Amino acid sequence: MNWQLILWIGIPVIVVLLIFRYIYRTYNELIYHQIQVEKQAAHLDAHLKKKFDLIPALSDVVKGYSKHEKGTFEEVTRLRSQWGKSKDIDEKAKTANMLEGVLSKLLVVQERYPQLKADRSFQDIQKSIGWVERELVHERKVYNQRVKSYNVRLRLFPKNIVAKTFHFQEKPFYNRETEKALNK
């Protein structure tokens, strides 16, 4: 009789403890990966800030050669300010993509002004932007790897039950297609 009582009470208690342990570990694992994604998003944000901080210097150099590009300069200033005020990654990605488009217009000005290509300040800023862009490519890759790892965990069974219970949301990938979609 004692063994039956122990089995009737002990087994359900053990099962409940194992379920609780699984939920606890899964929740903490999801939190860890969520923080890793957010940390990498901050790295990506810092590198974009570096790149966008170079734009006013580039604008100043180009302004000296091109007085009729005033609309482009105003758009660069507006978008740079808008990017700085953006709070979430989707909004920042959309603004960053628009700023990239305006920046490419600004760089096209050099084709119209051959003496601008030879300007030392312009060359230095262009090199700096290229260097930061290479860093951005790396940061985007790392961000996307972390997002993939996190999102996979949210979808795997039975972790997906814990994720839905605690309202974990998938994170968006950062890529040119996403940026284009965000621009529409």
In the predicted structure, residue 72 carries a pLDDT above the cut 90: no
What is this structure's pTM? 0.68
Say yes or no to pLDDT of 5 above 80: no
pLDDT for the residue 183:
37
- DSSP characters over 125-143: HHHHHHHHHHHHHHHHHHH
Is 90 exceeded by the pLDDT of residue 136?
A: no
On the question of pLDDT at 124 being above 70, the answer is: yes
Angle at 90 between CA 155 and CA 144, to 5 degrees: 50
- Give the pLDDT confidence score for residue 88 in this predicted structure: 74
Residue 46 pLDDT exceeds 50? yes
Output the CA torsion sign for 131, 95, 92, 162. Answer: negative
For residue 168, pLDDT over 80 is answered with yes
**Weakest mean pLDDT among 34-38, 107-111, 122-126:** 107-111
Contacts of 122 (CB under 8 A, 6+ apart): 58, 61, 62, 110, 116
Percent of the chain's residues with pLDDT above 90: 29
168 vs 123: which has the higher pLDDT: 168
Q: How far is CA 151 from the centre of its chain?
A: 15
Confidence of residue 113 (pLDDT cuts 50, 70, 90): low
Tokens representing residue 33 in the block: 């990966």
Is the pLDDT at 176 greater than 60, yes or no?
no
Q: What is the mean pLDDT of the chain?
A: 79
Contact indicator for 106, 79 with CB cutoff of 8 Å:
no
Cis peptide before 12 (omega within 30 of 0): no
The answer, yes or no, to whether residue 107 has pLDDT greater than 90, is no
Say yes or no to pLDDT of 23 above 90: yes
128 or 165: which carries more pLDDT confidence? Answer: 165
| Nearest Cα residue to 111 out of 100, 121, 96, 122 | 122
When mean pLDDT is compared across 21-25, 53-57, 107-111, 139-143, the lowest value belongs to 107-111
Mean pLDDT of 67-89: 71
